[in-house]
Amino acid sequence: MLADPAAQLRLLDLQAEDTAIAQLEHRRKSLPEHATLAEARVVRGRLGESLIAARTTVGDLQLDVEKAESDLVPVRERQARDQQRVDAGTVTDPKQLNALLDEITHLGRRISDLEDVELEVMEQLESATAEQDRLAAELADLETSMRAQIASRDEQVAAIDAEQATHQASRDGIAAGIPADLLALYDRIRPRAGGVGAAALKGRRCGGCQLEATQSALVAYAAAAPNEVLRCEECERILVRTSAVEA
């Protein structure tokens, strides 16, 4: 392939812009906020599930407390009625009075047992509520942190996008001045050559693969016409001569 030496030199400018764009794309993908947010989303999911479970537990225990309280009401009322009858002296038959006193004693034990159950459930509810509040606070803190991370990420992405747009505009301008066949060759090479389609020939070394050319290759490079497009014999990138080649 033949191309004006000036157009070949412009490939190096084009490559510089493509390298800058690739570096910006890598920087965008490598922002630490991406990994931090990905991890935070996993933690948020676990916290959300735990909070739902905690709220369910709290709800169940609240029902248990209400049941324990409702179980106590009729027993206390009956004990109060029996005690009122005893205090009023309306029961005069000794046998009936003893039976009533026995029932009051039994009801007292029953009330004590039910109060123990209620106290235990209330303690469980208090513990479950504390766990629910802890999880809710942890989730709120995490979401606040995530919002800050998102804002930081978006700010950096916007800055990278703006810088990339500048480089892209410069690249488009350079590409417009390069012959179509030379540009097409460059664009074919670049994706399979690590993003570098053209490199300067620096002394004996290819600026792309950094390998020294063989003596026979150098002789061929030195003998080539200025408008001949050279290719590295090792990496096949376009070699751009920035000075005369010495074999």
pLDDT tens digit sequence for 175-223: 999 999 999 999 999 999 999 999 999 989 999 999 999 999 999 999 9
Task: Tell me how far apart the alpha carbons of residues 239 and 177 are, in angstroms, rounded to a whole number.
Answer: 19
Residue with tokens 């399979």: 192
Contacts of 34 (CB under 8 A, 6+ apart): 153
Q: What average pLDDT does range 147-155 have in this prediction? A: 98
Contacts of 227 (CB under 8 A, 6+ apart): 2, 3, 4, 5
Q: How distant, in Å, are the alpha carbons of 76, 108, 113, 115, 245 from that of 70? A: 10, 16, 14, 11, 100
The per-residue pLDDT for 92 is: 83
User: How confident is the model over 13-48, as pLDDT tens digits?
Assistant: 999 999 999 999 999 999 999 999 999 999 999 999
Structure tokens at 232: 């590295």
Confidence of residue 247 (pLDDT cuts 50, 70, 90): low
Phi, psi of 208 (to 5 degrees): -90, -60
Task: Tell me how far apart the alpha carbons of residues 227 and 1 are, in angstroms, rounded to a whole number.
Answer: 8
Q: Could you give the residue ranges of the DSSP H alpha helices within 89-214?
A: 94-176, 180-192
Residue with tokens 């700010």: 155
Evaluate if residue 152 carries a pLDDT over 70: yes
CA–CA–CA angle 161, 10, 188 (5° rounding) = 75
Beta-carbon-side half-sphere exposure of residue 27 (alpha carbons within 13 Å): 14
- Does residue 206 sit in helix, strand or coil? strand
Task: Tell me how far apart the alpha carbons of residues 15 and 171 are, in angstroms, rounded to a whole number.
Answer: 9
Strand 230-231 and strand 198-202: pairing? unpaired
The per-residue pLDDT for 20 is: 98
Q: What average pLDDT does range 94-121 have in this prediction? A: 94
The predicted model scores a pTM of 0.76
Task: Tell me how far apart the alpha carbons of residues 83 and 81 are, in angstroms, rounded to a whole number.
Answer: 5
User: How confident is the model over 49-88, as pLDDT tens digits?
Assistant: 999 999 999 999 999 999 999 999 999 999 999 999 888 8
Residue 228 DSSP one-character state:
B
Say which CATH topology domain 31-176 has.
Answer: Helix Hairpins (1.10.287)
State the sign of the Cα–Cα–Cα–Cα dihedral 43, 49, 55, 61: negative
Taking the domains of the chain in order of start, what are their residue ranges? 5-25+179-241, 31-176
